[in-house]
Amino acid sequence: MFAWQAAGSRQWLARAVRRNHSLEATELANTSLDDKTKAWKSLINIAVSGAAGMIANHLLFKVRIYGLFLRGFQLASGEVFGPDQPITLKLLGSERSFQALEGVAMELEDSLYPLLREVNISVDPYEVFQDATWALLIGAKPRGPGMERAGLLDINGQIFAQQGKALNEVASPNVKVIVVGNPCNTNALICLKNAPNIPAKNFHALTRLDENRAKCQLALKAGVFYDKVSNMTIWGNHSTTQVPDFLNAKINGMPVTEVITDIKWLKEEFTERVQKRGGILIQKWGRSSAASTAVSIVDAIRSLVTPTPSGDWFSTGVYTTGNPYGIAEDIIFSMPCRSNGDGDYELVKDVIFDDYLWERIKKTEAELLAEKRCVAHLTGEGNAYCDLPEDTMLPGEQ
The question of whether 377 is a catalytic residue gets the answer: no
Task: Reduce the secondary structure of 176-193 to three states and give it as a string.
Answer: EEEECCCCHHHHHHHHHH
Q: CB-wise, 85 or 212, nearer to a copy of itself?
A: 212
CB of 111 to a copy of itself, least distance (A): 4
Cβ–Cβ < 8 Å for 284, 292: no
Cβ–Cβ < 8 Å for 49, 316: no
Q: CB-wise, 57 or 187, nearer to a copy of itself?
A: 57
Find all residues with CB under 8 Å of 170, minimum gap 6, and list them.
126, 129, 130, 131, 132
Binder among 68, 150, 376, 388 for a copy of itself (CB under 8 A):
68
CB of 276 to a copy of itself, least distance (A): 9
The reply to whether 39 sits near a copy of itself by the rule CB under 8 A is no
Site for a copy of itself in 291-350 (CB under 8 A): 291-292, 294-296, 299
Query: Residue 176, Cα to own-chain centre: how many angstroms?
Result: 9
* Cβ neighbours, 10 Å, residue 188: 29
The reply to whether 286 sits near a copy of itself by the rule CB under 8 A is yes
Q: For the range 370-374, what are the long-range contacts, defined as Cβ-Cβ under 8 Å and sequence gap of 24 or more? A: 371/153, 371/183, 371/185, 371/186, 371/237, 372/186, 372/189, 372/330, 372/331, 374/150, 374/153, 374/154, 374/186
Q: Which stretch binds a copy of itself (CB under 8 A): 21-29, 145-153, 304-312, 325-333?
A: 21-29
Active-site residue among 21, 58, 238, 377?
Answer: 238
Binder among 281, 297, 305, 348 for a copy of itself (CB under 8 A):
281
Residue 179 CA to residue 187 CA, distance in Å, equals 7
The reply to whether 219 sits near a copy of itself by the rule CB under 8 A is yes
Task: Using CB under 8 A, list all residues that contact a copy of itself.
Answer: 5-8, 20-23, 27, 57-58, 60-62, 64-65, 68, 99-100, 102-104, 106-112, 114, 117, 209, 212-213, 215-217, 219-220, 222-227, 273, 277, 280-281, 283-286, 289, 291-292, 294-296, 299
Q: Which residues are catalytic?
A: 238
